[in-house]
């Protein structure tokens, strides 16, 4: 049986954001904002989410989201929506963010 998707490229999309919480005085206060942000992202979008850097810092943290798709335009739109969602959260400020897409060879091309 022929695979009709044999020549499709899979794209890996990654979103990174540095969240600033200058008002937070403890890790507990920061986690009370960042952890729900990560959970809401997973609930609203088809992405995997991780807290990546600044876990022991009181006033900032880097979070990341990733997804896979054979449609690069859709994937970029998804990650732009993730960025807009994170930026809409009043309790923190996004000081920097980045979206990257990379083609990934499908299994038919793996030796």
> CATH number of the domain that 55 lies in?
3.30.70.1120
Residue 71, domain member (yes or no): yes
Backbone angles phi, psi at 32, to 5 degrees: -65, -20
Residue 68, domain member (yes or no): yes
Residues 40-95 have pLDDT tens digits of 999 999 999 999 999 999 999 999 999 999 999 999 999 999 999 999 988 899 99
3-class SS at 107?
helix
Q: How many domains does the chain have?
A: 1
Residue 59, domain member (yes or no): yes
Query: Cα(77)–Cα(92) distance, rounded to whole angstroms?
Result: 23
Confidence of residue 109 (pLDDT cuts 50, 70, 90): low
Residue 5, domain member (yes or no): no
Supply the pLDDT for residue 50.
96
Confidence of residue 2 (pLDDT cuts 50, 70, 90): very low
Residue 82, domain member (yes or no): yes
Query: Cα(1)–Cα(64) distance, rounded to whole angstroms?
Result: 38
Q: Which domain holds residue 80?
A: 10-105
Contacts of 46 (CB under 8 A, 6+ apart): 67, 78
């Amino acid at each position: 049986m022929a695979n009709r998707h044999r020549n499709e490229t899979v794209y890996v999309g990654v979103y990174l954001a540095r969240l600033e919480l200058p008002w937070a005085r403890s890790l507990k206060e920061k986690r009370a904002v960042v952890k729900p942000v990560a959970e809401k992202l997973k609930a609203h979008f088809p992405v995997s989410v991780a807290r990546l850097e600044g876990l022991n810092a009181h006033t900032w943290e880097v979070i990341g989201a990733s997804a896979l798709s054979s449609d690069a335009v859709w994937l970029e739109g998804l990650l732009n929506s993730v960025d807009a969602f994170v930026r809409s959260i009043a309790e923190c400020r996004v000081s920097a963010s980045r979206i990257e897409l990379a083609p990934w060879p499908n299994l038919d091309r793996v030796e």
